[in-house]
Amino acid sequence: VALNPNGDRVAVGNIFDVTSEVEAQERLNRRLEFESRRKSLWMANLSHELRTPLTALVGYAEMCGELESLDATAAEFIVKIRSTVGLMKAIVENGLDFFRQEAGNDIVLRPTAHDLEVTVDNVVDLLSVRAKDRGIVVRVAKKLGSRRACCLVYDEPRVAQILINLLSNAIKFSPRGGTVKLGLSVGADGRVDVSVADAGIGIARDKLEHIFDPFSQVEGVSVKFGGTGIGLAVCKLHAERMGGSIAVESVENEGSTFRFQATFPVAPAPPPADRAADAAAALARALRSFPRALLSPDDDAL
């Protein structure tokens, strides 16, 4: 406020035209968004390209494991190769799904009839080498109700992905020589409850809220234990897309329990004899088409 020559009080101020600055900021924001989407798309493409040779390696390792001429040492090496490559493939699948989502592309679920108990057993088998190397015992407790209850309609690769992430984390963060507990409960209505408990480093209370956010590993953990920082985010993404949920209870320096819950449609289950015959026929078909089918996995559009 100032006085003019007549002694009147007047307001004095400056007006600036910031249109150019605002437009420049908007252009920068659009550029950054474009670069972020391009980076995510590139990462998704990279993961997609890595998946093909890794799928082939898993298949070759499984076929080598069936050779009767292998001695005990060679057979052990084949098991370790299969386990290591299988875990590498799981990491690639995490990246593929996460960055596909970041790039704005939907993840399409493909539910089909599977035996959930078999899915769980396969995941435990895949991670058995890692657990053995750390002297960790994985104890599995099942509450199935009936044999037929486990035959459900779900996206088997994505459910396996959730289980691999949870179980591998439990093994990684557990002390050597410790125990990891995996619980599986399946109700007659298709309600599924999977829990994975460890007695590892645990999670501080103030970190629990963001534990399922991407790249939110507890400070110092990624340096000591490794990891990509997207495994739990992918678990949450898939669990919610299946209409389920994932949660955690943890006490720092005492351990953590992760729980995945969902309800899947119950599928008609064939008698055990028929199921075994179907599995044998499927294996025979796969061997007849090898290696063309093995080297041509289902490539979803990015």
Compute the distance between CA of residue 9 and CA of residue 79 in angstroms, rounded to an integer.
Answer: 89
CA 95 from centre of chain: 9
Q: Which long-range contacts (CB under 8 A, 24 or more apart) does 204-212 make?
A: 204/252, 205/252, 208/248, 208/250, 211/248, 212/236, 212/246, 212/248
Please write the tens of the pLDDT for every residue from 34-71.
666 666 665 656 665 666 667 777 777 777 777 777 77
Amino acid at residue number 86: G
Compute the distance between CA of residue 112 and CA of residue 160 in angstroms, rounded to an integer.
Answer: 13
SS3 of the chain: helix, strand, coil, percent, to 5: 50, 15, 30
Predicted pLDDT of residue 177: 92
Return the sign of the alpha-carbon dihedral for residues 237, 212, 97, 138.
negative
Predicted pLDDT of residue 294: 34
Predicted pLDDT of residue 12: 65
Predicted pLDDT of residue 83: 66
CA 212 from centre of chain: 11
Q: Which of 65, 69, 47, 185 is CA-nearest to residue 126? A: 65
Predicted pLDDT of residue 69: 74
Q: Which of 96, 88, 108, 94 is CA-nearest to residue 40? A: 96
Compute the distance between CA of residue 155 and CA of residue 157 in angstroms, rounded to an integer.
Answer: 6
Contact 195, 256 (CB under 8 A): no
Q: Determine how many CB atoms are found less than 10 A away from the CB of residue 266.
A: 18
Please write the tens of the pLDDT for every residue from 220-260.
554 455 555 678 888 998 999 999 999 999 999 899 999 99
Cβ-based neighbours of 199, under 8 Å, separated by 6 or more: 174, 175, 178, 179, 254, 255
pTM of the model: 0.65
Q: What are the mean pLDDT values of the chain's consecutive 10-residue runs (302 residues total)?
A: 69 72 79 67 61 69 73 75 70 69 73 91 87 92 77 91 92 92 93 95 87 69 56 90 94 94 84 47 42 36 37
Beta bridge partners of 248: 258
Predicted pLDDT of residue 77: 75
Predicted pLDDT of residue 45: 61
